Amino acid sequence: ESTAAEKKRWTLNDFDIGKPLGKGKFGHVYLAREKMSKHIVALKVLFKSQLKQSQVEHQLRREVEIQSHLRHPNILRLYGYFYDQKRVYLILEYAAKGELYKELQNCKYFSERRAATYIASLARALIYCHGKHVIHRDIKPENLLVGAEGELKIADFGWSVHTFNRRRTMCGTLDYLPPEMVESVEHDANVDIWSLGILCYEFLYGVPPFEAKEHSDTYRRIVQVDLKFPSRPIVSSAAKDLISRMLVKDSSQRLPLHKVLEHQWIVQNADPSGVYRG
Ligand SMILES: CC(=O)N[C@H]1CCN(c2c(Cl)cnc3[nH]c(-c4cn(C)nc4C)nc23)C1
């Protein structure tokens, strides 16, 4: 069902533009306020010239089509879009607590309760997406935002907007790709289970499991599923068990998302509200 916001023909005049939130290859994201409702949003401004140059117009149309129909507390809303001569504007939900990866950088790694709470809410969001035949939501930390109540929001449109201090492995990171994508065979919804396993590892250890200096080494470690658990920080065997059941080369053998939610590590550590309160 589409709301009034979906139908309205928005223009730039409908908004007061605030500070830049992030900038990147295709344009910038600004804090903005819709004048009539005083509703705070994030306005993503993309340059048509850039989109044409990189032949991503069709990808943008597909992503906007998908994103505007997804309604889930852990998926950033796309309220609408509009364009003028030179730019395309996406009207997005504003996540008040910003980017998760900055939080992860600040505290190196998360507690098991915090990690489990985030993984559970992402599993629920992915179950919702798969139910609508939407896969590969590209859930690396750069694409995760935090709402006002501390809830996680998947905020990706197939490419990310790079904020000022980019993550070292941001550009073209292979870290999150599962074997079938690295070996570029067709992929199914199970790719998201793999990425969730990578994310769980990174939440607990502060680095992705197959990180290496050279891309060729990361590639080899992924296809060999060269999974090692450091001795520090100390992580429970239940957490390692869950990660080991998600990072499985044969995508059909990965723990299904609904089984992730039933895993003892999640049941014992995740806050049922999906919000980590510290
Ligand atoms: C992957 C990606 O799109 N990255 C960012 C750029 C800004 N953008 C935001 C989007 Cl699209 C939505 N909400 C945001 N909130 C913030 C933010 C809030 N604080 C306190 N600091 C920041 C930054 N940023 C956004 C997404």
pLDDT digits (tens, 9 = 90+) for 34-92: 999 999 999 999 999 988 888 888 888 888 888 888 899 999 999 999 999 999 999 99
Q: Is residue 157 predicted with pLDDT exceeding 80?
A: no
pLDDT digits (tens, 9 = 90+) for 105-124: 999 999 999 999 999 999 99
pLDDT at 182: 74
Of 256, 272, 269, 1, nearest in space to 115 by CA: 269
For the CA of 76, the closest atom of ligand 1 is 12
- Cis omega (within 30 of 0) on the bond before 233? yes
Cα 99 to middle of ligand 1, angstroms:
6
pLDDT digits (tens, 9 = 90+) for 216-237: 999 999 999 999 999 999 999 9
Residue type, 26: F
pLDDT digits (tens, 9 = 90+) for 9-33: 999 999 999 999 998 667 899 999 9
Indicate the top mutation candidate among 23, 99, 164 to test ligand 1's pocket, ranked by most ligand atoms within 8 A of CB. 99
pLDDT at 168: 34
Classify residue 78 by its DSSP letter.
Answer: E
Cα 142 to middle of ligand 1, angstroms:
10
What's the pLDDT band for 159 if we cut at 50, 70, 90? Answer: very low
Instruction: State how far the Cα of 165 lies from the Cα of 135, in Å rounded to an integer.
Output: 29
Q: Which residues of 76-106 are buried (b: 16+ CB within 10 A; e: fewer)?
A: bbbbbbeeeeebbbbbbbbbebebbbebbee
Q: Is residue 188 predicted with pLDDT exceeding 60?
A: yes
Of 101, 71, 76, nearest in space to 91 by CA: 76
| CA-proximal residue: ligand 1, atom 16 (nearest) | 98
What's the pLDDT band for 256 if we cut at 50, 70, 90? Answer: very high
Q: Which long-range contacts (CB under 8 A, 24 or more apart) does 207-214 make?
A: 208/169, 208/173, 208/175, 208/176, 209/243, 209/247, 210/175, 211/169, 211/175
pLDDT at 161: 32
**pTM, rounded to two decimals:** 0.89
If one compares 86 and 181, the residue with the highest pLDDT of the two is 86
- Output the ligand 1 site: residues, CB below 6 A: 21-22, 29, 42, 44, 92, 94-95, 98-99, 142-143, 145, 155, 160-161, 163
If one compares 172 and 69, the residue with the highest pLDDT of the two is 69
Instruction: State how far the Cα of 78 lies from the Cα of 212, in Å rounded to an integer.
Output: 35
Whether 84 sits among the annotated catalytic residues: the reply is no
What's the pLDDT band for 177 if we cut at 50, 70, 90? Answer: confident
| CA-proximal residue: ligand 1, atom 4 (nearest) | 161
Sign of the Cα pseudo-torsion (56, 60, 66, 72, in order): positive
| CA-proximal residue: ligand 1, atom 3 (nearest) | 161
Tokens representing 119 are 């993984």
pLDDT digits (tens, 9 = 90+) for 193-214: 999 999 999 999 999 999 999 9
Of 265, 173, 188, 258, nearest in space to 222 by CA: 173
If one compares 113 and 155, the residue with the highest pLDDT of the two is 113
Q: Give the ipTM of the model, two decimals please.
A: 0.95
pLDDT at 166: 32
Contact predicate 20/30, CB 8 Å: yes
Q: Cα(first)–Cα(last) distance of the chain, in Å?
A: 36
Tokens representing 40 are 């705070």
